[in-house]
Amino acid sequence: MIAVPLGVVGIVLLLVVPIPAGLLDVLIIVNILLSLVILLTSMFVKKPLDFSVFPSMLLIATLFRLGLNVASTRLVLGDGYAGEVIGAFGHIVVDGNLVIGMVVFLILVVIQFLVITKGAERVAEVGARFTLDAMPGKQMAIDADLNAGLISETDARTRRAEISAEADFYGAMDGASKFVKGDAIAGIVITLINLVGGIVVGVVMHSMPVMESIDTYSILTVGDGLVTQVPALLMAVATGMIVTRSNAGEGDVGSQASKQLVQSQQAVAIAGASALVMALIEGMPKLPFILLGIGLLVAAQQIRAGQKRAEAARAEAARAEASASASPENTDDLLEQMRVHALEILLAPDLVDLVTGAHDDLLGRVRALRRKIALDLGVVVPPVRTRDSIELPASTYAVRIAGVEAGRGRAPAGKVLALGDALGSLPGQATVDPVFGMDGKWVPVEMRHSAEMAGATVIDRVSVLVTHLSAIISANAGRLLSREDVRVLTEEIKRHSPSAVDELTPSLLSLAEIQRVLQGLLDEQVAVNDLPRIYEALALAAKRSTDPEYLVEAARAALGPAVPARHTVDGTLTVVTIAPALEQAMLAGRQTGGEHGTSILLDPARLDAFRTSVADQAAAARTAGHDVVLVCAPSLRPAVQRLVATQVPDLPVLSYTEATAGHALIETVGVVNDAPAIAGRG
């Protein structure tokens, strides 16, 4: 579209090129209507960012009005006539009275400059500062949702773009509000110049008497001022309307006002009664007060009737639910209640609102989490059953796996979780994040911006629960993989790679044995989404041995670079190694063929020292911000994994072969030894 660039060029020409009075009339009408359209648009948009071009439109409209001021001044001072619109405003609107005209003009200036413009300027400044201060926290919240699988990468990019656009918009509005302020000041100055200049031109150049000159030029000047002040006032109101809108609204100003002003029947009734009382005051016009009072009382009755209908509908729904729950139970109902669900979320009664949210409800976020885990680990998480439990303390939720509680946390209503170091000044209950172990505080929702300005990462209740659920599912993915899941996955592979399945099962391994191998991989956070490659490796390995440990190691070897890739950050794999002397001793004490797989026979004191050293090295590396893994000889890896799992359950153990399978840079940050035990014996 070239209309706007051509319009700006025309405005610049308007400042220097004289125009006839007829064209000026047309441009003045366009100016008034343009301001009216902008004002109405600002009222009907659902959120400020829907009218993101407003700051630029404000600049163009301001420049347009100033151009019209220059053109009208040229005509008033040169010809004593500036068109019919200005003449109508000067003679009809203020009845040709200079005093009335000046008073009306000054009142409009006071309303625009001191009331609307000042307030809009302050709101825009505060909004810009709060928006910029809250950006880091909002970005971290998006990253947290993305990492938890609550949103996709596309959604994350969209939300980041919205945050950036919001910051740019409020920053632009902070500067654009100065245009309105400058426009008001310019209107006053131009009017004074026209008034004084007109009198001088009339007396000096046209030899008019002083009073005639004042009468002629002052009326035109006042008309000119009113013609430009009215659209300026409309633009100031539009500016205030935009900067005071809340992003939380889902409708325009009219729909929100109509809903929120009638939400209280008592307020409307009291207003109606007050109008009737004021009608009794001596000297007051009784008819308007009586009519308005009766109208408000009737409206209050209508509101009350609507509230009763809504309450009756809710009561009917509750009775229907109670009737359904009280109906005689058949055998199928009992069996359903007896069934142990693979994955279950229990909510305290005051947390039931988490599953009824209008947008980011718990059930929708859980569905997104199941999809993310399926893509990351290659297993389909069973449906998550959600129900309330009166046995839980208030604001508490619990996650169960196969009927056994696997984790518990809190999500108090009306609160958000603030994570950070500088939380002392915020009110709320101190807590510890159930996933990352970070210190935090449950603060009121109203304090969200204050917490973000304090540098805290603010997380809503649903995100806290879903992140906790994600960690529990990842840690227990092996337990959640049922034999039926293995059958479904095997049949799906057979559709695309029939040879991989036909060679493996049932001739070499049963579904139960395949399930055991896949569970072993998932227990060590190894994704099984490349099942054809895993099945091909198992088909070769099973011809030599069906030992589960041997099969798991064969599958890991087949996955190759995919195993260390999950722990590689920016092309670097951060590792902790075992001291050579200790590793040689462990190799010498390695025993195979036991009931639980490979084991290491060493002095118990040395093994205890080894586990303690592993925990210390892992803690030090993580404190330094490293995602660390422990590496060892391939033949020791299964036994070392079992030893480490008792001390540091979430520490991955890789063999040297696996660590070097990819193209990552290996960075060693620690060495595990048994020095404390040796020193103790000495």
Query: Do the Cβ atoms of 618 and 648 come closer than 8 Å?
Result: yes
Q: Which of 221-235, 560-574, 603-617 has the lowest mean pLDDT?
A: 221-235
The rounded distance, in Å, linking the Cα atoms of 159 and 146 is 11
pLDDT at 680: 39
pLDDT higher than 70, residue 90: no
Averaged pLDDT, 142-160: 74
Question: Is the CA virtual torsion 288, 290, 293, 299 positive or negative?
Answer: negative
| Residue 138, CB-side half-sphere exposure with 13 Å CA sphere | 19
Nearest to 230 by CA among 61, 74, 97: 61
For residue 506, is the peptide bond before it cis, meaning its omega torsion is within 30 degrees of 0? yes
User: Among all chains, which residue has been given the structure tokens 């939400």?
Assistant: 263
pLDDT at 469: 93
**pLDDT tens sequence across 362-395:** 888 888 888 888 888 888 888 888 888 888 999 9
- The SS3 assignment for 591 reads strand
Element (H, E) at 29: helix 21-44
The rounded distance, in Å, linking the Cα atoms of 155 and 445 is 24
User: Among all chains, which residue has been given the structure tokens 């003449």?
Assistant: 87
Beta strands in 77-118 (DSSP E): none
Averaged pLDDT, 156-160: 81
Global pTM reads 0.55
- The SS3 assignment for 406 reads strand
Q: What is the DSSP letter of 151?
A: S
The rounded distance, in Å, linking the Cα atoms of 68 and 30 is 11
- The SS3 assignment for 623 reads helix
Q: Which of 96-100, 424-428, 662-666 has the lowest mean pLDDT?
A: 96-100
The rounded distance, in Å, linking the Cα atoms of 352 and 386 is 10
CA distances to 539, 604, 607, 617, 680 from 677, rounded to whole Å, are: 44, 10, 9, 16, 5
pLDDT at 582: 92
pLDDT higher than 70, residue 457: yes
**pLDDT tens sequence across 607-643:** 999 999 999 999 999 888 888 999 999 999 999 999 9
pLDDT at 667: 92
Model confidence at 652, pLDDT cuts 50, 70, 90, reads very high
Cα angle vertex 620, ends 615, 623, to 5°? 120
- With pLDDT > 70 as the criterion, what percentage of the chain qualifies? 85
User: Among all chains, which residue has been given the structure tokens 């003009």?
Assistant: 105
Q: Which of 64-78, 535-549, 557-571, 624-638 has the lowest mean pLDDT?
A: 64-78
**pLDDT tens sequence across 268-317:** 788 888 888 888 887 778 888 788 888 888 888 888 887 778 777 777 77
The rounded distance, in Å, linking the Cα atoms of 223 and 82 is 10
Query: Do the Cβ atoms of 129 and 122 come closer than 8 Å?
Result: no
The rounded distance, in Å, linking the Cα atoms of 267 and 307 is 14
Query: Do the Cβ atoms of 584 and 637 come closer than 8 Å?
Result: no
Q: Give the amino acid at 261.
A: L
